[in-house]
Structure 1
Amino acid sequence: MRIHLLVADDDPHIRELLRFILEKEGYVPHEAEDGEQAMRILENEQVHLAVIDVMMPGKTGLELCEEIRRHHDIPVILLTAKGEIDDKEKGFLSGTDDYMVKPFEPKELLFRIRALLRRYQLVSSETIKLGRTMIDRRSYEIHIDGDTLVLPLKEFELLSHLASNPGRIFTRDQLLQAIWGADYEGDSRTIDVHIKRLRERFHDRPEDFVITTVRGLGYKLEVTEP
C-alpha cells in the first residue's frame, strides 16, 4: 500500500521541495496552498499523515490541526518559521504530533514522518502493543507476558487514549473531556490522580512505555523504541 501525505503550505517553493523528496521516497503527496483546500483533500482522499505550515492565509495551520483532530485520526507535523517556546506550546496544544522549524533538513523530516507512521501503525487496530504490554480495547484487558490485568474503567480509558496517540501531548482539560466528557464537573486534579495510579501500576514496565509530564502543558505517553 502506498502512503498518501497531505502537504499544506502557501509557499509554492516549499511545496515543490516536499513533493520532490516525498515522491523520491515513494510517498504520494497531495498539495494544498491553504487550510480550506487541505480540508477538501482530507474529505476526498485517504491521507495517512499531514505536514502543515503554521502561517497560512485564511485558516491557519493551528486551526487546521485542531480541525483534523476533531474529524481525522492521522498524525500531524507542523512546519513554522517560529521557534520560540510559546509558539511550540501553541502547536502542541492544537494537537500536533511533531513540530519542525524552518529551514529544516529534508532528511530529518523524513525520519520524523517514518517514526510517526510507525507509531500510528502500532495503534491502528483494536489492540495496542507497547513492547510486551498489550492493550485490548475490545475486552478492556491488559496482557503482559501471559498475565491479564483488569484496570478500573477510567484508568483503562485514560491509558488507552494516551497509548492511541503516542508522543502527543494532552492537556488535563483535553483528557478530562475525552474520558469523562464535557459535562464532568470535577477538576483537572482527577487526571493527576489517575496518572499517578497508572504510573504505580506500570512502574516496572519502563522498557515498554512511560507516561511523561510535560511541564506547563500536560502529559504524553512515550513508547520505548526497540
Structure 2
Amino acid sequence: MPRILIVDDDRALCSLLKDYLEREGFAVDVAHDSDSGLAQLHNQATRPDLLILDVMMPGRDGLDTLRELRMKHRLPVIMLSAKGEPIDRVIGLELGADDYLTKPCLPRELLARVRAQLRRHTPVAAGTLQVGVLRLEPSERSAYVGEQELTLTGAEFQLLLALAQRAGELVDKATLTRMALGRELERFDRSIDVHVSRLRHKLAEASPQSPRIDSVRGAGYSLVAGAA
C-alpha cells in the first residue's frame, strides 16, 4: 500500500484529502507544519512514497521545506498552492517539485497526479540506454555520466529517459509532458521547460562531454550526444 504524506496547515483540507485518498487504497499521514513533515521523512516506519506539500504555511514555508528535503530525498513531491501565478509554479519546479497544483483543486485531479507520479517512480524492466557518456539504468531508475551518478528527481529521470529513448529526434512538449509527468500539456504550462533547465545544468555540471538538450522554440526538445 503506497504511503502518502500531506503537509498542509489547512486541517479541514487535510482531513478531506486523507479520507478521499484512503478510500482509494493509500495509507495517508498528515502533518500541519514543515518541521513535523520533515521529521516523518526521517522516520523509517512512516517514510512516505510521495509527498503533497503546501506552499503557504506559517513558519517555514513549503518552498524552504522543499529546498531542504531535496538535499537528501528523491521522493516525488506535488506542491499545492493558493498562489496560481506562473512564476510561483516555476519557482516550485526549479526547487525540485515534480508537479504543482493550484488550490482549490478537485480531489480526483490530485488523485490522478498522485497515481501518475507513483507509476513513474516504479522501476521498469528495461535494458541499459547509452547516449554518449550518459548511461541510464531504467530498472534501477538511475542515470550516470561516466561513473558519476546524477542526482535526479523522479520527473527529471523520466524526462531524461523519454529523451534518451528517442535520442537525436525532436520530441514535442505534449509527448514529454505525458511521458514525464503523466498528464496532458496545459495552456501556458512551463513545467517541462523548467525540468529541462534543471537537467541541462546537472548534465553540464557532471561533464563537458555530457549530451546536450537542444530546443526548437515552440516545438520541443532533443537529446544529442556530446563531442567525444
> What TM-score results when the alignment is normalised by the length of structure 2?
0.64
Q: Structure 1 21/4 Cα, relative in aligned 2: closer, same or farther at 3 Å?
A: same
**TM-aligned CA deviation for residue 179 of structure 1:** 5.9
> Cα deviation per residue 1:141-190 (whole Å; 9 max; x = unaligned)?
x2xxxxxxx432147647x8543563474364664346635xx7x7xxx8
**TM-aligned CA deviation for residue 212 of structure 1:** 4.6
Residue 188 of structure 2 is matched in structure 1 by none
Residue 96 of structure 1 is matched in structure 2 by 97
Provide the C-alpha distance between the structure 1 equivalents of 2:100 and 2:16, rounded to a whole number of angstroms: 18
**TM-aligned CA deviation for residue 71 of structure 1:** 1.1
Amino acid across the alignment from 1:119: R
Q: Structure 1 37/179 Cα, relative in aligned 2: closer, same or farther at 3 Å?
A: farther
SS of 1:109 mapped into structure 2: helix
> Cα deviation per residue 1:122-157 (whole Å; 9 max; x = unaligned)?
xx3xxx56xxxx452xxxxx2xxxxxxx43214764
Instruction: Give ranges in structure 1 of 5+ residues lacking alignment.
Output: 137-141, 143-149, 200-210, 214-218, 221-226
Overall identity of the aligned pairs, in %: 31
SS of 1:180 mapped into structure 2: helix
Contact 1:49-1:117 within 8 A present in 2 as well: yes
> Cα deviation per residue 1:18-40 (whole Å; 9 max; x = unaligned)?
11111111211111111110000
The answer to whether residue 78 in structure 2 is matched with residue 60 in structure 1 is no
Superposition CA RMSD, Å = 3.1
Residue 46 of structure 1 is matched in structure 2 by 47
Instruction: Give ranges in structure 2 of 5+ residues lacking alignment.
Output: 137-143, 160-179, 182-191, 224-228
Provide the C-alpha distance between the structure 2 equivalents of 1:64 and 1:212, rounded to a whole number of angstroms: 32
Residue 10 of structure 1 is matched in structure 2 by 9
Amino acid across the alignment from 2:213: I
Amino acid across the alignment from 1:98: D
Amino acid across the alignment from 1:3: P
SS of 1:51 mapped into structure 2: strand
Residue 194 of structure 1 is matched in structure 2 by 212
> What TM-score results when the alignment is normalised by the length of structure 1?
0.65
Q: Structure 1 135/170 Cα, relative in aligned 2: closer, same or farther at 3 Å?
A: farther
